[in-house]
């Protein structure tokens, strides 16, 4: 790698590649009067002057109440987003069992009174039946997603504008 401006300077008009000489009384040139940015010879050094966001607050990765991992909506399949929209609109739902009480028999969700949770099917493309994908909705607005028919859950991280 060759970095310009790092080696000896050649005086303008000089045929010699040796170092330039200047007298102690000569005025600084325009090039030396302006500060050049520091360049590191280390190829791994970062020269990005953009601000870093290490001090920005980070969202928790685990729901403090349930202990379940958070799932960002961007990480859900489109069919799960469709189901969330149907829940927010209160239907119509594609299956008769959508909206029925989820009993929480597995006790993986926070303990709540009976009928607190309702279950909704997330359509699995290509399957002729309901499949294993579900969203469980709590009365308090919380939403949980399972890909394995209630064997495990993640809590969907929703903004406060989404019911």
Each residue's pLDDT tens digit, 52-99: 556 556 778 999 999 999 999 999 999 999 999 999 999 999 999 999
Rg of the chain in Å (alpha carbons): 32
Share the mean pLDDT of the chain. Answer: 77
69 or 3: which leads in pLDDT: 69
Domains and CATH numbers, the chain: 76-156 (3.10.450.30)
User: What pLDDT does 49 receive?
Assistant: 54
User: What pLDDT does 26 receive?
Assistant: 44
Whole-prediction pTM value?
0.63
Supply the residues annotated as catalytic.
Answer: 119, 149
Q: How far apart are CA 90 and CA 104, in angstroms?
A: 21
The residues near 28 (Cβ < 8 Å, ≥ 6 apart) are none
Angle formed at CA 114 by CA 110 and CA 120, multiple of 5 degrees: 75
The residues near 154 (Cβ < 8 Å, ≥ 6 apart) are 68, 69, 70, 71, 144, 145, 146
């Amino acid at each position: 790698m060759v970095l310009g401006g790092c080696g000896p300077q050649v005086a303008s008009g000089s045929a010699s590649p040796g170092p330039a000489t200047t007298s102690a009384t000569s005025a600084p040139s325009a090039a030396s009067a302006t500060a050049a940015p520091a360049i590191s010879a280390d190829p791994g050094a970062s020269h990005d002057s953009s601000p870093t966001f290490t001090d920005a607050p980070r969202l928790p990765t685990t729901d403090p109440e349930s202990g379940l991992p958070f799932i960002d909506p961007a990480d859900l399949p489109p069919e799960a987003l469709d189901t969330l929209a149907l829940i927010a609109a209160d239907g119509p739902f594609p299956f008769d069992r959508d909206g029925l009480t989820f009993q929480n028999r597995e006790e993986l969700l926070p303990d709540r009174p009976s009928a607190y949770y309702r279950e909704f099917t997330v359509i699995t493309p290509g399957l002729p039946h309901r499949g294993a994908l579900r969203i469980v909705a709590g009365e308090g607005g919380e939403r949980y997603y399972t890909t394995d028919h209630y064997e495990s859950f993640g809590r969907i991280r929703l903004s406060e504008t989404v019911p």
